[in-house]
Structure 1
Amino acid sequence: MKHTVEENVRDVYSVTGEARLGNISLMSKEDVDRAIDQASDVQKNWKEIDLHTRARILHQWADNLVDKQLIIADMISHEVGKGMSSAKKEVLRTADLIRYTAEEGLRSHGDLMRGDSFKGGPSSKLAMVEQEPLGVVLAISPFNYPVNLAASKIAPALITGNAVVFKPASQGSLSGKLMIEALNDTDLPEGTVQLITGKGSEIGDFLVTHPKINMVTFTGSTQTGQAISQQTKMVPVVLELGGKDPALVLKDADLDLAVKQIVSGAFSYSGQRCTAIKRVLVQDEVAEELVQKLKEAINNLSVGDYQQESDISPLINTRAADYVEELIDEALQKGAHAVTGNKREANVIHPTLLDQVNEDMRVAWEEPFGPVLPVIRVQNEEEMVKLANLSEYGLQASIFTKDTQKAIKLGSQLEVGSVQLNAKTERGPDHFPFIGAKSSGLGSQGIRRSIESMTRDKLFVLNL
């Protein structure tokens, strides 16, 4: 939808604020209402299109993303501050995700149930169970993976016969727009996917409570996700929210392996990932050695410009950098020790390692979404599990030990959706289930799980 009134558009700049990348429409509630109405109307025909045609359209979309990978990756790089190599990987990973979704969708099928399979059930009854689309899916994506996390919602919705209303994060919206242009350049019926841009403060509540929205799938902050959950009432919701993922380092761990995985898990994309390692719980016996090894590895990280493929680059905005700095300062005031880092240049926070962190410090519990790693020393495994589970979050955890049996035993006690054994916390592969416990989410994602969440069973009982 085009706007000619200057007040109805907003310029989008690079993450450093130095380059204007384009603009987005600031859509009104009336604009949103028309878009949702059109999606609802088109969906009635889209759901009748056969699965093979829907799958073919998704493959076209994936092909278009590959063809336009440099253009889209360049926008991702500048808009959210990723190195070009990481941005290209995101686009290609997204194409693979879409193709897998198309093929997984083709394997979706109904079920048959005989009445006499249940004791006392009448043998003359046969149940035919089919999956129906929910209708119009509202997909709300975050800034940090503006293409991949958007497509992980849109592709499953489309293969199951749903229409989509897509609301990208404001910083990331131009990348999302290019992704949708690649989708629109297929045989997808016009209007099946509606791109919504604008101020969340003005249209957000209107979107999630609209009577023609039949499902909401959201990735973003826990605070916003909880608000959506309260507003949607009877509408199905899948939420992918924040995390405070711990790395549990046992005294028998391979410390070199642990350091390599922890540093990568904590500081890739400057820590701006819900699955980033955000605290280390280490047994006293190896704490000093681990901290020194972490210091050496962190000091080898490059700091600077995302265009130079630096390991640490500017955070998404000044508010984000202010928050990380605030957490560091509060911890230092309460007795934590800055082993390395604790330096800021504009929105670049140098990778910071904090030792001697305790339960009284905010950085032990709050999600920084930036390059700071607190180390909490513990006496034993029981204390590790207790501290890990005291968090309001429950996304993932890493356990580093040479004793696999012990790792599985400890992992079973952790209140998280996923446990990584001797590896960093991370999302994927994209067909693996992705689950958040407690305040980290609601529902399950991953390609097959996402497909299942966007359909409902419909039962036909044949009386023979």
Structure 2
Amino acid sequence: MSKIVNQVKSTKQFLMINGERVETSKYAPLYSPYSGEEIAQVAMADKGLTKQAIDAAYNARGVIAKMPAYKRAEILENVVAILKEKSAEAAEIISRESAKPIMFAKAEVERTIETYKFSAEEAKRIHGEMIPFDAAAGGVGRIGYTLREPIGVIGAITPFNFPMNLVAHKVGPAIAAGNTIVLKPASQTPLSALFIAEIFEEAGLPAGVLNVVTGPGGTVGEAIVEDNRISMVTFTGSPSVGIGIRNKAELKKTTLELGSNSALIIDKEIDIDQIIDRCIMGAFSNQGQVCISLQRVYVHEDVYEEFVTKFKENAKKLKIGDPLDPGTYVSALISKGETERVLNWIEEAKDSKATIQAGGKLQDGILEPTIITDAGRSLKVSCQEAFAPVVIVNKVSSVKEAIKQVNDSRFGLQAGIYTNNVKNALYASRELHVGGVIINDVPTYRVDQMPYGGVKESGTGREGIKYAVEEMTEMKLVVWNQS
């Protein structure tokens, strides 16, 4: 097997604090999840350097807060233009550090460009509203209105699975709203964040507005969450870490995008040929390492056998291999530890009454797309977040039964339903206990301007630029007495 990543040389990566590249006393090797070779030496910040980054952000907050909206928008538009020019380089960075197949890395860069474009537009649309004070007897002779003001310093902690676009979903709205940021990227994917910081510097962002601090979550993340100068923490990652952040954040505002085991309902009379490609994408794109990856499918008994047959046939056709090969659809999971965890879950399913219809084993160290049927509700592949190319398919007799099974989960990010019945679609939209119901598509559907977030252990707050800006600003009331 050819490994294109072998051509890449290891490079030293520094912190970005107050517009300067800062060295540290310790560096850690960054290895390709696919080839295992070293691709970078990454600076490891301690609490002192993290505090230095918070100092820089705190001192720069007045600069960006007082900057006119059109100037903030202009900087974000500059980022869009530069990233378009460097899109091929950006996609390769994502693919190298995360083993995301290049076809999906390119799509992520395109979405990142859109996210910053939406942020530039939203910077010019931040406004309050007039309050009808004379609606109350005590309000006669007064006028009032609200303003949206920057919240201050935002601590952003981002995951590995979309290392460029999920950074954009925090950095873009923060700058649009006039905030400063201390960003801690995932330990496996710091290169994308540092690359974007350089682009912002080139785009004209003032020093100190965006600071990137790489290092252990227990050191850097905790220093961010515990510092009283941080006004808000926005986090995407596991429920256990997110709950810990919320417990430590005290009165800081928090937006938490946590886990999921997203489900799809397929009603009777659905043309399976029309939906099979979308189901393959939903389940296996980016190796299933997507917060809204399709993990559970509940299929009406009338079309169950046809769906399982066609789903596994198409899954077996997917090309497995080098993430930089344009034809690769599935590559390595983010770490060997994650691979072992998922293999153990599959073994648990094998030991029960479940059937492995496809995959379930490694091919050159890469987990094959795996389809499991008749999986019990208590199995880890059913009730926990797999974050891997693993999907369960179970038979149901009605949409009502399917909805009951979908809701039988500690998570509630998004769910999808394919149906030709309007009543069933409306019923699902009411009864599914999730943050987003996607009708006639997989739950993996997302465009970057829509509100995105979940209920239960899937988190709190909403992303999507307009909605993130609301989270990242404070409302102020102004009242004038005209008498």
Could you state the TM-score of these two structures normalised by the residue count of structure 1?
Answer: 0.96
For residue 33 of structure 1, give the secondary structure of its aligned residue in structure 2: helix
Of residues 417-426 and 384-393 in structure 1, the stretch that sits farther from structure 2 once superposed is 417-426
In structure 1, the residue matched to 2:227 is: 210
In structure 1, what is the Cα distance between the partners aligned to 2:289 and 2:71?
37
Aligned mate of 2:194, from 177, 184, 205: 177
1:79 aligns with 2:97: yes
Alignment of structure 1 residues 367-382 onto 2, 5 Å: 367-382=385-400
- Give the corresponding residue for 1:354: 372
Q: Does the CA contact (< 8 Å) of 1:323 and 1:368 recur in 2?
A: no
Shift of 1:70: 1.9
Aligned mates of 1:92, 1:258 — CA distance in 2: 24
Shift of 1:121: 3.7
- 1:196, CA displacement in angstroms? 0.8
Greater Cα shift, 253-262 or 147-156: 253-262
Deviation string, structure 1 residues 65-114 (Cα, Å, up to 9, x no partner): 11222222111111111222322222232122112211122022222223
Deviation by residue 1:357-379 (Cα, 9 ceiling, x = unmatched): 12232211111111111112223
- On the 8 A contact 1:219/1:241 being kept in 2, the answer is yes
Displacement of 1:4: 6.0
How far does the alpha carbon of each residue in 1:363-405 deviate from its partner, in whole angstroms, 9 at most, with x for none?
A: 1111111111111222322221111111000011111111133
Seen in structure 2, the aligned counterparts of structure 1 residues 397 and 4 have a Cα distance that, compared at 3 Å, is closer
Q: Which moved more, 1:401-410 or 1:151-160?
A: 401-410
SS at match of 2:78: helix
Aligned pair count reads 462
Q: Is the 8 A contact 1:257 1:422 kept in 2?
A: no
* 1:274, distance to aligned residue in structure 2 (A): 0.7
Alignment partner of 1:196 is 2:213:
yes
Q: For residues 6-405 of structure 1, what are the structure 2 equivalents within 5 Å?
A: 8-116=26-134, 118-308=135-325, 309-345=327-363, 347-405=365-423
- Tell me the secondary structure at the aligned position of residue 334 of structure 2: coil
* Cα displacement string for residues 175-203 of structure 1 (whole angstroms, at most 9, x for unaligned residues): 11111110111221111111111011223
2:266 and 2:132 map into 1 onto residues whose CA distance is 52
Aligned-residue Cα RMSD (Å) equals 1.5
Give the residue type in structure 2 aligned to 1:248.
I
Task: Work out the CA distance in 2 between the residues paired with 1:347 and 1:153.
Answer: 33
Question: Offset of 1:346 from its aligned partner?
Answer: 5.2
Matches of 1:176 and 1:4 in 2, distance apart? 17
Equivalent residues of 2:84, 2:113 under 8 A apart = yes
Shift of 1:436: 0.8
Tell me what 2:11 maps to. Answer: none
Runs of 5+ consecutive residues of structure 2 not aligned to the other structure: 1-14, 16-20
CA contact 2:322–2:331 (8 Å) conserved in 1: yes
What is the DSSP-based 3-state SS (H/G/I as helix, E as strand, rest coil) of the residue aligned with 2:394? strand
Amino acid at match of 2:168: A
Letter in 1 for 2:235: F
The 1-side partners of 2:176 and 2:301 are apart by 51
- 2:101·2:330 contact (CA, 8 Å) conserved in 1? no
SS in 2 for 1:275: coil
Distance 1:452 1:78 in 2: 34
Residues 254 and 402 in structure 1, CA contact (< 8 A), matched pair in contact too = no
Q: Which amino acid aligns with 2:259?
A: G
Q: 2:137 is paired with a residue of what secondary structure?
A: coil
Q: Which residue of 2 aligns with 1:457?
A: 475
8 Å CA contact retained: 1:249, 1:258: no
Q: Per the alignment, in what secondary structure is the counterpart of residue 77 of structure 1?
A: helix
User: 8 Å contact 1:140–1:219 — kept in the other structure?
Assistant: yes
- Paired with 2:274 and 2:130, the residues of 1 have a C-alpha distance of 49
Relative to structure 1, the CA distance from residue 4 to residue 384 in structure 2 (aligned partners, 3 Å threshold; closer, same or farther) is closer
